[in-house]
Amino acid sequence: MGTDIRIHVEYLDRKTKRYTHANEDFRHDRCYLLFDLLGGGRGNRNPLYYTRGLPGDLSNETQRCYKSGESEFHHASWLTTMEFRECLDLFYEMPKEDNIPEDISRKLDFIMQDLPAQPDPMISYEHIYRYMKSSDDDGEPSRIVFWFDN
């Protein structure tokens, strides 16, 4: 069984002065190293930002989604656009395969050669960041609210 992340993008609406759920449906693939950096979702590494729980001014849509499976969710938290960017940048700086012994690495290459190529999971997270940055630039600060589900 794997761990999934549930991400909701919210922005502070200039008119209402309340956080509003972004209408865009963001895809987010599994990326366990990033999960750990975001909030310790897999527990293998220390997160860049420790979990904060859900914000008190959560949008109605995000709150509804969380309540629908609250007993199964863990490590709920939120990050600003810049904090999210810092997690993405640290992800790119970390070694991914350097710790795999060469004999195992060759076996993995042999096994993987016949599997279809998987798209880069970071594309979806970069898309989320670009949306958030655009919202920030438009004067409506954004954040991600997220939690993990096993």
Helices 122-137 and 81-93: crossing angle in degrees, nearest 10, is 150
Residue 122: other Cβ atoms inside 10 A? 15
Predicted confidence (pLDDT) per residue in 98-109, tens digit: 455 555 555 555
What span, in angstroms and rounded, lies between the C-alpha atoms of 7 and 145?
A: 6
Identity of the residue numbered 17: K
What span, in angstroms and rounded, lies between the C-alpha atoms of 35 and 83?
A: 14
Residue 90: other Cβ atoms inside 10 A? 13
pLDDT confidence of residue 120: 76
pLDDT confidence of residue 88: 95
Predicted confidence (pLDDT) per residue in 41-55, tens digit: 666 678 898 899 999
- Average pLDDT of the chain? 85
pLDDT confidence of residue 137: 97
Question: Which of the residues in the chain have pLDDT under 70?
Answer: 1, 41-44, 96-119
